[in-house]
A and B are shown apart, each in its own frame.
Chain A
């Protein structure tokens, strides 16, 4: 039996204006994409969209039939960044993309996606 491959869209890596981000996801909602990775994964200083804005976007995309995965930061240093991460990881609606081992730790016991910035080079790591 063949499995129908799904199409997923990674998180925005650029620093776009809030309007551009919202307009972009309006179009994504109508696109054939199945899975949408959502959130800030590059830099915590980029805060044109607050975490609540991302959650709101997630709900909209989910309502449009998309499978939403919340992406998390690739580099966590400050406590404020960990606080945000805890909020993402403690949500009980969406899957989380862990981009740092701190996120992997917080997601233990629950399914999650390992992002590209986590070093997975061999099967013993998996």
Chain B
């Protein structure tokens, strides 16, 4: 089972490599990937340095090219695929059928991983991508239950990677356009829920107000931490009560079900968080490395250590974690 860690920039890439990642995933510095945040990602020089750093230490490199090009900007995605092939990355993570088709035709030697942004939740869909583009691996959206993940893996024609830790949304990846109602942009085409140009913070007597596209989505008092400004995790007044009406800020944490994921035949665990700090990447990579190693050594007696959970809790959104859709005790 591979540990795949986020690399939003060179210090994070090094932190992931130094703390036990088997692979890192990263992107170009533009809207061709789904973490198109200001100051994040790699220009040519840093990318060359990062690739060299990972290569020398035997860590694989996956390039995320997982947004959806449109007719007006198609050529940039095409160039990005060519660049990825030239860089010799170990895999290209893509979602768009056009991008996958181009990559498979032009660069048949380039490994393709199906991005979580393709919303492929079942093995019939995976079979389609396998038949047409020869994908080697698929990253599942964070929506199936543990039992369903197991079932997909059993019937899947390709390796399956799942998210193990990181920020969690309520939507199905690749299908959320909630933020576009206020920003005119969506994660699918722009690569971010909250374009920096649309985020506004303002100190007021009532507290720090966060607006997205002019819409008030959060008001935090003194001492409270303002989270990443998204609609889904904003506070809204519903029926006279103001609360996280759509979703409480929380992070997915699957340390507890690692033996089941291993037993299900999951090929890789992905850590979310290219937008997070190198300190986050180092901490999370180190804990997950230790957990995967412990679980592989003795899955029967594996138990997440209390200090792992405490540390991960601290770097979680809203400082709380959940098993998310993996756990559905009511079923």
Whether A102 sits at the interface, judged by CB under 8 Å, is yes
**Docked-complex contact A101 and B118, CB < 8 angstroms:** yes
Known A-B contacts A101-B118, A101-B129; A122 and B124 likewise in contact (beta carbons under 8 Å) = no
Tell me the bound Cα distance from A108 to B127 in angstroms: 12
Whether A90 sits at the interface, judged by CB under 8 Å, is no
**Which residue of chain A has the shortest Cβ distance to B325 in the bound complex?**
A77
Whether A106 sits at the interface, judged by CB under 8 Å, is yes
Known A-B contacts A101-B118, A105-B125; A122 and B71 likewise in contact (beta carbons under 8 Å) = yes
Size class of the B contact interface (CB-based, 8 Å): 20 to 34
B106 to chain A, nearest CB (A): 12
With beta carbons under 8 angstroms apart, the residue of B98, B127, B151 that contacts A124 is B98
Over the window 112-156 of chain B, the binary record of Cβ atoms lying under 8 Å from chain A Cβ atoms (1 yes, 0 no) is 000000111111110111010000000000011100100100000
How many residue pairs link A and B with beta carbons under 8 A? The number is 86
**Docked-complex contact B172 and A102, CB < 8 angstroms:** no
**Which residue of chain A has the shortest Cβ distance to B95 in the bound complex?**
A119
**Which residue of chain A has the shortest Cβ distance to B69 in the bound complex?**
A122
Tell me the bound Cα distance from A100 to B119 in angstroms: 8
Tally A residues with Cβ within 8 Å of B: 25
**Docked-complex contact B101 and A100, CB < 8 angstroms:** no
Known A-B contacts A119-B95, A124-B102; A82 and B121 likewise in contact (beta carbons under 8 Å) = no
Tell me the bound Cα distance from A77 to B125 in angstroms: 11
**Docked-complex contact B145 and A122, CB < 8 angstroms:** no
With beta carbons under 8 angstroms apart, the residue of B74, B118, B125, B131 that contacts A122 is B74
Given the complex, which residues of B lie within 8 Å of A75, measured CB to CB?
Answer: 119, 121, 143, 172
Given the complex, which residues of B lie within 8 Å of A76, measured CB to CB?
Answer: 121-122, 124-125
Given the complex, which residues of A lie within 8 Å of B119, measured CB to CB?
Answer: 75, 100-101, 117, 119
Whether B206 sits at the interface, judged by CB under 8 Å, is no
Given the complex, which residues of A lie within 8 Å of B145, measured CB to CB?
Answer: 77
Over the window 167-207 of chain B, the binary record of Cβ atoms lying under 8 Å from chain A Cβ atoms (1 yes, 0 no) is 00000101100000000000011000000000000000000
A112 to chain B, nearest CB (A): 13
Whether B31 sits at the interface, judged by CB under 8 Å, is no
Within B296-321, the residues touching A (CB, 8 Å) are: none
Within A107-126, the residues touching B (CB, 8 Å) are: 108, 117, 119-125
Tell me the bound Cα distance from A125 to B177 in angstroms: 20
With beta carbons under 8 angstroms apart, the residue of B122, B144, B174 that contacts A119 is B174
Given the complex, which residues of B lie within 8 Å of A121, measured CB to CB?
Answer: 68-70, 96, 98, 188-189
**Docked-complex contact A77 and B124, CB < 8 angstroms:** no
Whether B279 sits at the interface, judged by CB under 8 Å, is no
**Docked-complex contact A119 and B96, CB < 8 angstroms:** yes
A118 to chain B, nearest CB (A): 9
**Which residue of chain B has the shortest Cβ distance to A102 in the bound complex?**
B124
**Docked-complex contact B148 and A101, CB < 8 angstroms:** no
Whether B245 sits at the interface, judged by CB under 8 Å, is no
Given the complex, which residues of A lie within 8 Å of B174, measured CB to CB?
Answer: 119
Q: Which 4 A-B pairs have the closest CB atoms?
A: A124-B98, A102-B124, A105-B128, A101-B125
